């Protein structure tokens, strides 16, 4: 038997997520690798799944959790053997396939990434999908800047949704690369926290969240946006000639009330960043870079640990914007 969060949806009880005990025989039969989970995490999408505020869960019952890290206990996959340390992000886990907010998981071996040397399972989940997505965003911007001869110091880089997991890690990564980072947040009282990560300036999200002009004063050489909607439109409208925007989220909304003007008059590039189905080579490169460059003390400063039993309440908190940084879940606590 093992502990897990389990989501059920019935006509009688409605939508419900609760801590329960399951038998190993109940794990999905479609997986070829069984993992004893050590750590998981809570992301925005996990909050949606736990609360049912958005229909991210595709089938019921479902164990949520789009991330986990742990040890292989059984495998019929040629790449993995018992004792291997692995992690997983995305591939529909926690949405259409049982996920990581449990003490055990059974998944397809093709979805797993070897835990990078020097990175603990706990640190991997402190990074989680949010940090891995931030790395994909930063990598896209770096490639763009290299192709366009835009070195650090040539302009400011905007990070929206700065207090969230993606934003926090993006600030740390970009500042570490020598960029002047401007953090946009709806919680100005967190300015000290954001500056401790490397933000040079903190602005109120209200400056970006309302409808704006199709073209605005050029400011950003690059943007990491996890908010979408008017915020993303305004970020594009104020990006400098030849700059780039990496979009990875929709906290404000999935609409994009924008104009083509920034793209055809200033040569701005908009990169869509998908972390769920990203190719394995891109995943492994992102995780290797994170393991080699992310400051562990800084990572610890943005991370809070909770137990599996706390995850339901925290899922509600993250949607309410009451969580900063990263949350790691000790599934065995």
> 218-231 pLDDT, tens per residue?
999 999 999 999 99
The pLDDT assigned to 320 comes to: 85
- Fold agreement (2-115+302-330, 128-272): no
Report pLDDT for 319. Answer: 87
pLDDT tens digits for 179-221? Answer: 999 999 999 899 999 999 999 999 999 999 999 999 999 999 9
Secondary structure in 3-state letters for the chain: CEEEEEEEEECCCEEEEEEEEECHHHCCCCCCEEEEEEEEECCHHHHHHHHCCCCCCCCCCECCCCEEEEEEEEECCCCCCCCCEEEEECCCECCCECCCCECEEEECHHHCEECCCCCCHHHHHHHHHHHHHHHHHHHHHHHHHHHCCCCCCCCEEEECCCCCHHHHHHHHHHHHCCCEEEEEECCHHHHHHHHHHCEEEEEECHHHHCCCCCCCCCCEEEEEECCEHHHHHHHHHCEEEEEEEEECCCCCECCCCCCCHHHHHCCCEEEECCCCCCCHHHHHHHHHHHHHHCCHHHHHHCEEEEEHHHHHHHHHHHHCCCCCCEEEEECCC
24-52 confidence digits (pLDDT tens)? 999 999 999 999 999 999 988 999 999 99
Percent of the chain with pLDDT over 90: 89
Q: Which CATH number fits domain 2-115+302-330: 3.40.50.1110, 3.30.310.220, 3.90.180.10, 3.40.50.300?
A: 3.90.180.10
Beta-bridged to residue 305, according to DSSP, are 328
Give the mean model confidence (pLDDT) for residues 257-283. 96
DSSP-derived pairing of the beta strands 85-89 and 104-107: unpaired
The pLDDT of residue 31: 94
Q: So where are the chain's domains?
A: 2-115+302-330, 128-272
Overall average pLDDT of the 279-293 stretch: 95
With cut-offs at 50, 70 and 90, classify the pLDDT of residue 242.
Answer: very high
Q: Are strands 85-89 and 113-114 parallel, antiparallel or unpaired?
A: antiparallel
pLDDT bin (cut points 50, 70, 90) of residue 158 is very high
Q: Would the pTM count as exceeding 0.85?
A: yes
Pick the CATH number of 128-272 from 3.40.50.720, 3.40.1710.10, 3.10.690.10, 3.40.50.2000: 3.40.50.720
């Amino acid at each position: 038997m093992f502990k897990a969060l389990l989501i059920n949806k019935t006509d009688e009880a409605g939508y419900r997520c609760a801590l329960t005990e399951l038998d190993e025989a109940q794990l999905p039969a479609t997986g070829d690798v069984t993992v004893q989970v050590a750590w998981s995490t809570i992301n925005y999408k996990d909050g949606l799944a736990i609360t049912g505020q958005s229909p991210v869960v595709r089938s019921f019952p479902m164990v949520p959790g789009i991330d986990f890290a742990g040890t292989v206990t059984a495998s019929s996959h040629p790449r993995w053997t018992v004792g291997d340390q692995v992690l997983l992000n995305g591939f529909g886990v926690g949405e259409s396939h049982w996920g990581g907010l449990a003490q055990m998981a059974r998944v397809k071996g093709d979805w797993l990434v070897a835990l990078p040397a020097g990175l603990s399972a706990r640190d991997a989940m402190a990074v989680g999908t949010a940090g891995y997505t931030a790395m994909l965003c930063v990598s896209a911007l770096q490639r763009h800047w290299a192709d366009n001869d835009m070195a650090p110091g040539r302009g400011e880089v905007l990070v929206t949704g700065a207090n969230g997991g993606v934003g926090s890690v993006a600030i740390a990564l970009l500042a570490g690369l020598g960029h002047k980072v401007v953090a946009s947040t709806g919680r100005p009282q967190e300015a000290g926290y954001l500056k401790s990560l490397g933000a040079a300036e903190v602005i109120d999200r209200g400056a970006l969240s309302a409808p704006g002009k199709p073209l605005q004063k050029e400011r950003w050489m690059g943007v990491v946006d996890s908010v979408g909607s008017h915020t993303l439109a305004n970020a594009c409208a104020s990006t400098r000639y030849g700059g780039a925007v990496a979009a990875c989220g929709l906290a404000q909304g999935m609409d994009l009330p924008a104009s083509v003007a920034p793209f055809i008059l200033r040569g701005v590039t908009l990169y869509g960043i998908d972390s769920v189905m990203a190719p394995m080579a891109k995943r492994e490169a992102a995780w290797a870079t994170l393991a080699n460059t992310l400051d562990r003390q800084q990572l610890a400063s943005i991370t809070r640990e909770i137990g599996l039993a706390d995850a339901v309440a925290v899922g509600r908190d993250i949607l309410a914007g009451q969580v900063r940084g990263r949350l790691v879940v000790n599934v065995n606590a």
